[in-house]
Structure 1
């Protein structure tokens, strides 16, 4: 059940005066994480924007326990914290709060290992689709055609789908979320916190300076990504995969907004040709087709097994 915005906890864990850029999507997500878990969460944060904007103790802009750890180690550190909680009988949530570079690239080996072990952690990848903290370099999460400082003519490769890769690890819970839909993200965090074992949430978090749009448009950009079908909201809970609103209403392609409505808001896509836009549209269609085919195949298997 989705909670109303006015029902969300009022206590702040991400405080005014932090060093984040104006309109930072990551900080919007961090606020929701604080609302959902509060004092229960201990965060392991690898090198990233999140490691920098929190500030230095005792003047930190984030009122949550944080361990800033080396780039590739976050999932391993979080696993150790989870084991310590268990041994000491301490109530708590061991959470990784990491960017796409520290997750899909540099931290992927430790991430996959934690998933394979079914470590009792919640790993949240806030995805701003590049190495923003070090100068907007491309990551494997940067979408095809996007400008970065290391892909000035546009990235040639497709975006890696980390959530699907982790779903293939047969872990208890995997989901996608967007900062444009805070209640959905809040609900998924709360659901993940109820589950023992490995949990992963892919959070779509636009970056104004990296994506080249006005900071006032952060939520609009994130919303357009979902409305056009570019980013799909879904949830895999103990073997059951389902689409979440509003994506669940966009199975019919005709109900999706034109992809250009999303692309035109961002300077990083300003030089795309019509052919490149058409290729991105085909890529979006392929992502939808894969998810829908997987869901249908799962229904057939369950039906044959009498589940």
Structure 2
């Protein structure tokens, strides 16, 4: 298999001309995924940033077949598309869902669970920017502790969000899915490798991508990729895979970069006090202790 990188990936653009904010991590992830999946891809996108910026007639950003689904139905619509293609005898295609964190971990969880349970031949991408960005930056089930959003305000008595991110990757893996992975737009070769792996998998695949949002996170547009890399290097995001009933950590740093370097570059975390940061570190360390004990490492 050819190693996918900037030199070997195809030049043809299948997702371009969108109206997303400068520095949008989601649009970068979709652009690269489409280059790997190819033009014979059928995509389902729920209400969210990517459907809002990609389906602006007459400047459609997708050159392949794509449809906007009801907010809760990405998994169900993608499953129906795959079934329809099979019934029509149309071969050599891929069916994908591109949904955000709210459309995946909250309102879309039931439809995704059903698709995995049926082992439908789809690839589901969760573009996780850690809040409902399209509708005004509201908290989702994947918003981290301490995040200031319009529905989790920070003040004298509250640090912002008081809950941790759902363990969405492990929730998906608990279905004994054919293939699941986490990724980050800060480690693009790792992401591209996982898209290719999902493309080659028989059955349902799921890729959960950390995709920074300069508007909702509050940072300069030019640091999206470096910030996504820092999330991994601080241990606040991890790169892993699940297949054949086993978890594998793809990156296992001996030491973490200080979390303050990552958090303080974002206005959504500027209010955090020292004790709030200690809560975040403690949660990170507990998670990594579990992963290092129970998961395979590379």
TM-score by length of 2: 0.94
TM-score by length of 1: 0.91
> 2:183 matched to which residue of 1?
177
- In terms of fraction of residues, the more helix-rich structure is 1
Where in structure 2 are the equivalents of 1:7-86 lying within 5 Å?
Answer: 7-16=8-17, 18-86=18-86
Cα contact 2:129–2:212 (8 A) shared by 1: yes
> 1:145 matched to which residue of 2?
146
CA drift of 1:53 comes to: 0.5
Give 3-state SS (helix, strand or coil) of 1:71's partner.
coil
> 1:192 matched to which residue of 2?
198
> 1:303 matched to which residue of 2?
none
Cα contact 2:99–2:127 (8 A) shared by 1: yes
Cα contact 1:19–1:55 (8 A) shared by 2: no
Q: Is 1:121 matched with 2:127?
A: no
Distance 1:223 1:195 in 2: 27
CA drift of 1:3 comes to: 2.2
Distance 1:212 1:98 in 2: 22
Distance 1:214 1:59 in 2: 27
Q: Is 1:234 matched with 2:234?
A: no
Give 3-state SS (helix, strand or coil) of 1:195's partner.
coil
CA drift of 1:116 comes to: 1.5
Cα contact 2:5–2:192 (8 A) shared by 1: no
Give 3-state SS (helix, strand or coil) of 2:76's partner.
helix
> 1:284 matched to which residue of 2?
284
Deviations 1:241-275 (A, max 9, x none): 2122xx23x1x3xx211111111111100111111
Structure 2 unaligned regions, length at least 5? 155-159
Distance 2:78 2:269 in 1: 36
Give 3-state SS (helix, strand or coil) of 1:14's partner.
coil
> 2:89 matched to which residue of 1?
89
> 2:259 matched to which residue of 1?
259
The alignment yields a C-alpha RMSD, in angstroms, of 1.5
